[in-house]
Each structure stands twice: as structure tokens, then as C-alpha cells.
Structure 1
Amino acid sequence: MQFRSRTRPARPPGTSRRAVLGAGLGATTAAGLTACSGFSTPSSGSGSGSGASSDEITMITWASDAEAAAFQALADGFRAETGTTVKLQAVPYSEVLTAVDTGLRTDSPPDLFRVSYTDVAAYRAQGVLADLPDAAELEPSFLPAFWSAVTDDEGTFGVPHHTDTSMVLLNTAAVASAGLGALPTTLETAWTWEQFSDALTRVQPSRADTYAFAANWQNAGAYRWLNFVDQAGGRLLTEDLDAVTTDDPGALKALTYTRDLFRKGLTPQNASARGQAASDLFLNQTVAMAFAGDFLLSEIEGGGFEYQATFLPRDVNASADLGGNALVAVEASPNKEAALAFVSYCAQAQQMGDFCAAATVLPTRSDVDPAALAYSVRPDLMELYVQQARAIREPLVQQVVVPSFSAINAQLRDRLDEVFLGGDDDRAALRRITDGVASVLSTP
């Protein structure tokens, strides 16, 4: 989704968020991440975006075809149980928060909306989100890492609805032609950076416009570049999360490695941070390999070619990105109670399992086993995604759920695009990135 700069919200008080994140990620077997400008919060008496009465609520979301059907199933079940209609307002992924922000500015907000974990804290800090009344009842059933993404010392502002992460997808024909042999099938045997580079250089283009690889760091996915930083043992933010690191050896190593993908012609120029989505390049067979989230499998299945998957490459660490989304209700909605009831309904074990199986994503409840779900798309690969999610590490998660991360991610997008395609030496290129992030953190 498109990111826009915003004033940096105050960080939630206390250190409980970090402690909970650390406790949750060590145990989780599933894991799973996208910004908005400032706005005025409408008064509690204003109308909802649909002009609906209390027996109809409106939800703004983005959705693939599979997700749209899964959300409609949730809406149908909620109506059968409560008599309340949920009107789903689907907008393109790049426009969803613009639609939310516009509704808030014009005193016609939706009753609830779908939001990435990286944006929850920013909305909460501006008083937009309603506190979940049954949080104490729900919390024990959720993996702590994800519950903490919607919780601070002031309360719990939504439910962590699902999660996802990335793996390496490979065109089967290209794998065969490159003689790569059997792909790694466990995290412990995942390719090292050196082995991954070797695999990329062995993939032979079948046409003049074919490349070996594309990473999924485009636009709102810019934060996924931090996978490489974490794999190299580096950091973007300091441990107290209040400043940017400077001249970090791991970050420099990651930047050199990822810039080499462009310098060596292994990835196309239009796969830069402001370029074409890696999954699109994989689908149209411009690239033979790509990083892609599990939620994209239903789309990729329609590509008309066979493909496989293996784990993200590793260096000092194995590391993967935290993805997924929360469902949140709007505090100013006159239908707030009905919206909160739907949020809680979607968070129940049966509903979550059904949604995840249909939408090809991973659950955030500890009592929903992703390995037991009847995934409708590539269940063989979903077993691997469940393993990959174990590589989501606490140090990386801490950095991508700070309240200012929407603006940080926008800086990453713009600065990475400059340095991937630019001619600065690597140290100067890294300073360009860290200076951009520092400008966000210094905003009062």
C-alpha cells in the first residue's frame, strides 16, 4: 500500500510491549506486515461511511478474490448469528488507508477496517481506534507476539486477525535447467547467501528480458529489505528503538549483497523499491525466482506454469518478515458496539481457521494449528511457510512495530530505490538510508 509521511506519534509508555514480543516469538509456529497522513478525529455523533443504522456496519478492506470470499463468509455468519449486516467496502491495497483517512477527515468514517500491524500504533496514538472490551477473555488464546502488536499500556485496539511471511518461489523448469537439484526442505538446511547467489548465477535466461530473481521489497514492502539486514546480524534502529544505527556492519553487508543483485544483472532494474511487484514479475516469467508471501499463492496458481518453494537464504541468522493484518473498530463510529462485536466474532477459533484456510494465510491464535487447516491452495507449500515463520526474530519485529514505522518504511522505499539504482559507494549509500530514517525519528 502507498505510504505517506505523518507526524511521529508518542511511543506507548512502558517496556511491556518488548517483553511480550520476546516471549511470543520464541514459541510461535506461525508468523506473519503496510500508512496514513494526519487527520482530525470526528465527533462521536457523526455518521458512518455508509450512512448505516445500527443493524448495518461498514468495513473498509483490501482483498484478493479468495480473501473477499472469506470476508463475505464471515459477514454472512455474523448476520445469521446477530442479525447485523456487514457491508464490505473493498478498495485497492494502495488506497485503503487513504479511504479510511478521508472518512475520518470528513466525519464519515467506516465502522471498522483492516490494517497492518505496522500501522496500528499510529492510529491508536491519534485516538482513532476503539478499545476491545473482551480483550482479557481473548488474550490467552493468542500468540503473544501478535497480541502485543495491537496492545499497549492503554488497552487493546483490535484483534490480530492473521499473519503471513515470505519464501523463495522458483519456476520448476528454470530450476531443472539450472541443475539446482533438490531444494532445501528444512530451515536448518536453507541456502546460505553464498549458495543462493550461486543458484541465481546458474539460472540461465530463456529470453533477453528474463532475469534470475526479484525480491518483494517494492513500495509498502520496502521493510522486507530488513530481512537481509537481520540475516547479516545488523539493525536499522538502536536497541532502545529511539534512534537509527550508523555504520552498522550487518546493514552494510546487506546493502552490498542486495545492490550486487542489480550490479550483476541478476534482478531487473524495475524490481527496485519503487518498481513492479516481484510476484507480477514471477507470474509473467520475467524472473525465474522471487520472494513471495503465502497469501499470493492463489494468484500465482493461475500463472499456467509449475513452481516450487524453498526457504529464504540465511547468513549469520535465518530471518523472515512479519506480515499480516489486524481488524480494528473506529472509536467515533455510532455503531461501535456492533463493529467491536464483529471484530471479536472474526477472532474466534473456528472463524479464524476457516478464513486462514480459504485465504492462504496463517493463524495468530495458539489453539489453531496451521498444519491442521484444510488449505485450498498448495497445502504442500503451506507446510513450508509454517516452518519459515519460525524464523521471524524478536530483534526485527521490535523495529517494525514502532509507532513511526509507516514513515520509516516510506523513507526505506525512497532511499532504497535511490541506492539500488544509483552510483554511490556502499558506505555513502547506507548513510543515505540511515539519514532518511533519522529524519523521521527526529520529527517532534
Structure 2
Amino acid sequence: MGTINFTKAAALASTILAGATAASADEITFLCYQDGTECDVIGEMIPGFTAATGHTVKMDTVGYDVIRDQLENQLQTDAAPDVARITNLGGLNKYYLDLSPYVDVDAWEADYGATLPWFRAPGGEDKGIYGWMSQLTVTGPYVNVSLFDDAGVEMPGEGATWDDWAAALMEVKEATGITAGLAMDRTAHRIAGPAFSYGAKFFDDDGQPILVDEGFKKFAEKFVEWHKSGLMPEEGWPAGSGTSYSNAAPLFQSGTVAMHMSGSWMINNYAENITDFDWKAVPAPCGEGGCGAMPGGAGIAAFKSTEHPEAAAAFVDYLAQLGNAATFAAKTNNISANATLQATGVDYVNASPAVANALSVFAANAIKAAETTPQAYTFQGYAKNFVIYGVVPDYLTRAITGEMTLEEAYAAIDADVAAKIAE
């Protein structure tokens, strides 16, 4: 498979945009968070945008918690940015600026048609263009290869089930004396893939969230048992409460757990910060329901509250151009949502063998999820998925700690989700 020469493509995109330089230059504000170097790379691209359009960008790089917990409140006030990097794609739809009057709609549909619905209002009638999917992410596990080698345990291969992995990880734990075999970030986003593998649908035939079906129950029983058996650590889910999010990366980086169920956004962090052991990404484990993984990622959207809609739309459009999208993917080691780049490939010129392998594994996880657990893509585009992300950890944690039974947790999950969705 060939690769795009992103330097030439970026120059071509800049040349095209130069002909559309704004009659009056405006300054827009851009609120950005990064898992690795995403904002840094966009910062390097901003001078090209200014040269092409005359507009300037004031970028404010913040922690993800600001985007997750504060951005919507800002969008309801005069403190709203003109553009932001976001993950709650459908949930913020009512605030988006429709880019359609300012961009080549046909080109956007051709390049990003698969992800444009994630930004739209539910129901299928909304055809607006609201944001650029700056990167595709997908969930999946990372494994401490050195621990498996030290324990003399054979690592499960392609098509292995979660039961296969649980057994192998417990062997590694017992042989090496580590704290736990498996750690997962405390959010329903991370357990969604495994739940899909056990047959959970998350939605009924009418597209309404149901969550607690037989597949969900099968996974929940396993999940609670994994904690009781010591496969999963007390410092993980049981240490959290309510809807709080917890990242299990520190446990994996410390070498005290053998597997971290996370996602492709951790590739750069692990490549840079893990030096004491060998690690690798592995295919999403499977089950009777398929090989579940959650697609997602971060998008960049402009907001209709902006006083400079042409400039804000031009900035998003500039970043989404083929050459600039290629530059962004290559320099940040991310999976591109651009259909052309997916077909031709991106030249990850600075990627180590471990990073290149991980990118390949996660891209394959996304394809398998689309084929075997399509409800994952429905869930990603569901406007109120953040409700589910909060509710599920609260009650599953209570079941893990013994504060309530699983049956009580199931009833509470369904009731709480229904109430919050109705709000």
C-alpha cells in the first residue's frame, strides 16, 4: 500500500486556500487538549493557516478535564472559545457552527463521510457538517511483554477470548508476584468493548439504550469476579466512587500489572515513558458476541456563538485538508479519519517499530469492531453516551465492593440511565 507525500499535499492545500484569503483578518480562540503532541503539532500548523487566510489563532492548551467538565458550561456563557478540540461529539451538537456554507460539502462527505454523523443531531435528518475528526481512536489492550517472558507464560494470540487472557494474566500474576494481572480505566467507555464481546448490545431494535441485557450481565459477572479473584487491582475501580474517571496507565507504567485495557491514544505516552520493560498492543479479545472495541477519538469543531464564523470555519477546514490531515497524523502518530489516507496509508516517518506495530493493531481492532460489534459505532455516535459513561462505573463499583448485589446494580443502572436520558 502506497503512502501520501504529506509535505507536497500540505503545500498544495495551502496554495488552494491562499486564493480564499479573507478580506479582513480576524483572530479566533482555540481551546485544545492533547494526549501526546496534538496541540503542539497544530501550533506548528497555525502560521500556515494565517499565511493562507490572513486570520490568526490564539490557542489555549488545557488538560482534558477542562474539556470534559467545563467546556459545555463555557459554551453557555460569553467565555466560549470559537473552536475547540472535543470528544463529546454528539452531545455538544446544539452548540456547533454548521460549516456547510463555508466549505466544499462534497469533498467533506468524500473524505470524512464515515465520521460526520458522530457530530450530528440524532434521528438521521441532520445533514450538517460540524467538525473534523482529527484522529480516530479505538480501545484495546497493552501487554507487558517482559512479565510474560519472566513468567514463562505463552501470550494468547489472534482471536483469543477474554477468558483465555484472564487465565494467562492470572498465571503471570502468580508467577511474578505482581499486584494484578489486568487493569482497566474506570469508565464505561473501556468496558464497552469487552461487554460487546460477551454479547451486550447496549441498544434495543428501536435504537433506545437498554444496557442491561444477557450479554451485559455475562460481562458484569466476569468483571466482578475478576476483582474478587485478584486479577484486577484494588487501586483501580474499587478505589473510585460515583462517576469519577480513573486512568490505569500509572499502574501499567509502574510494571505492577501485566495488561492495561485502554486505547490507541496511549501509544505515544507509552513509547516515550516506558523504558523498564518491553510492551506491545495486542488484538482486542473476542467472545461469543465478537471482538469488541470502542471507536472514537477527538474532533475539532467551531461553535455558533463565535463572532467570526468564516474564520472559525476556515480554520477547521484548513486542518481537515488532505495534506494537513496527513501531516497531523504522521507527526502525532495517530490513525487518520480521512478516507484517502486510510486507503493510501500515512508515512509515520518518526515512528518506532513498537509504535508502528501498535498503530497497525489498533487499526485492525477498529475494522474488527465494525464487522463483529457494529453497536460500538452506534454507541459512539449516541448523543447521550456520556450519561452511560458515568452511570455504569458508579453501580458496578458498588457491586464490586459489596455495597449492593449485581441484581441491584442492574436495576439501578437501567433506572438511572432512563432518568438521565429523559432530562
2:364 to 378, 383, 387: 387
Say yes or no: does 1:129 pair with 2:97.
yes
What percentage of aligned pairs have identical amino acids?
21
Q: 1:309/1:84 Cα in 2 relative to 1: closer, same or farther (>3 Å)?
A: same
Query: Contact between 2:162 and 2:194, CA under 8 Å: does it hold in 1?
Result: no
1:151 corresponds to which residue? 120
Alignment of 1:269-284 (within 5 A): 269-272=234-237, 274=244, 276-284=246-254
Query: Contact between 2:283 and 2:365, CA under 8 Å: does it hold in 1?
Result: yes
1:63 corresponds to which residue? 34
Query: Contact between 2:116 and 2:131, CA under 8 Å: does it hold in 1?
Result: no
CA distance in 2, matches of 1:142, 1:308: 31
Deviations 1:346-398 (A, max 9, x none): 11111112111222221111100374431534112212122111122322221
CA distance in 2, matches of 1:335, 1:98: 25
Q: 1:137/1:243 Cα in 2 relative to 1: closer, same or farther (>3 Å)?
A: closer
Query: Contact between 2:179 and 2:256, CA under 8 Å: does it hold in 1?
Result: yes
Deviations 1:306-353 (A, max 9, x none): 212211211011111112021111112111111100101111111112
Alignment of 1:3-152 (within 5 A): 54-116=25-87, 119-125=88-94, 127-133=95-101, 134=103, 136-152=105-121
With the length of structure 2 as denominator, give the TM-score of the two structures: 0.83
1:405 corresponds to which residue? 385
Q: 1:418/1:131 Cα in 2 relative to 1: closer, same or farther (>3 Å)?
A: farther
Query: Deviation of residue 293 (structure 1)?
Result: 1.7
1:429 corresponds to which residue? 409
Identify, as 1 or 2, the structure richer in helix: 2
Say yes or no: does 1:264 pair with 2:229.
yes
Alignment of 1:210-225 (within 5 A): 210-216=179-185, 218=186, 221-225=187-191
Q: Return 5+ residue gaps in structure 1 as ranges.
A: 1-52
CA distance in 2, matches of 1:394, 1:304: 37
Query: Deviation of residue 68 (structure 1)?
Result: 2.3
Query: Contact between 2:134 and 2:320, CA under 8 Å: does it hold in 1?
Result: yes
Alignment of 1:223-234 (within 5 A): 223-234=189-200
Query: Deviation of residue 400 (structure 1)?
Result: 3.5
Equivalent pairs, count: 380
Q: What secondary structure sits across from 1:203 in the alignment?
A: helix
1:32 corresponds to which residue? none
CA distance in 1, matches of 2:99, 2:59: 22
Q: Return 5+ residue gaps in structure 2 as ranges.
A: 1-23
State the one-letter code of the partner of 1:434. D
Query: Contact between 1:150 and 1:159, CA under 8 Å: does it hold in 2?
Result: no
Query: Deviation of residue 82 (structure 1)?
Result: 2.0
Query: Contact between 1:241 and 1:399, CA under 8 Å: does it hold in 2?
Result: no
Q: How large is the Cα RMSD of the aligned pairs?
A: 2.4
Alignment of 1:346-385 (within 5 A): 346-369=319-342, 371-374=345-348, 376-377=350-351, 378-385=355-362
2:162 to 193, 213, 228: 193
2:287 to 306, 309, 315: 315
1:255 corresponds to which residue? 220
